[in-house]
Amino acid sequence: MEKVKDLKKFSLNDNVLDLIDLKFLPRWVILFIDILIILASLFISHLLIMGLEVKHYRAFPLRYVFLFILSTNVLYMYIFKTYLGVIRHSTFVDLFKLFFANLCCVLTIVIVNYTYYFSSNEKAILIPFLGFYFALSSVFLFVFRLCVKGFFNVIKENKRSASRKKIYILGDDDTSVAIAQVILSNPNLPFDIKGFISYNDRRVSIKLLDRNIVTKANFINNLNAGKKEVDGVLVIKEALQKEELDFWVNILLENNIKIYKAPSLQKLRGKETINQIKTIQIEDLLNRKQIKLDNVEVKRRHFQKTVLVTGGGRVHW
pLDDT digits 0-9 by tens, 218-257? 888 888 887 877 888 888 877 778 888 888 888 888 888 8
Count Cβ atoms within 10 A of the Cβ of residue 160 and give its class: 0-12 exposed, 13-18 middle, 19 or more buried: middle
Bridge pairing between strands 232-235 and 258-261: parallel
What's this model's pTM, rounded to 2 decimal places? 0.53
Q: State which amino acid sits at residue 281.
A: Q
- Whether the CA torsion 82, 85, 87, 90 is positive or negative: it is negative
**Could you tell me the residue ranges of all domains in the chain?**
2-161, 164-286
Cα–Cα distance measured from residue 50 to residue 43, given in angstroms and rounded to the nearest whole number: 11
User: What is the predicted pLDDT for the residue at 143?
Assistant: 92
Cα–Cα distance measured from residue 20 to residue 157, given in angstroms and rounded to the nearest whole number: 10
Q: Under a CB-based contact definition with an 8 Å cutoff, are residues 77 and 100 in contact?
A: no
User: Residue-wise pLDDT tens for the chain (317 aa)?
Assistant: 444 444 444 444 445 445 555 556 678 888 899 999 999 999 999 999 988 888 888 888 889 999 999 999 999 999 988 877 667 667 788 888 899 999 999 999 999 999 988 988 888 888 899 999 999 999 999 999 888 888 887 887 777 667 788 889 988 888 888 888 888 887 777 888 888 988 877 766 778 888 888 888 888 888 888 787 788 888 887 777 888 888 888 888 888 888 888 776 666 555 555 556 766 655 555 555 666 666 777 777 777 778 777 765 554 44
Q: Under a CB-based contact definition with an 8 Å cutoff, are residues 68 and 105 in contact?
A: no
H/E element, 212: strand 212-215
Which runs of consecutive H residues, i.e. helices, occur in the chain? 2-17, 27-51, 62-80, 92-120, 127-163, 174-185, 216-224, 242-254, 265-268, 295-302
Domain 164-286 listed as CATH 1.10.150.20:
no
Q: How far is CA 171 from the centre of its chain?
A: 27
Q: Under a CB-based contact definition with an 8 Å cutoff, are residues 171 and 197 in contact?
A: yes
Cα–Cα distance measured from residue 242 to residue 240, given in angstroms and rounded to the nearest whole number: 6
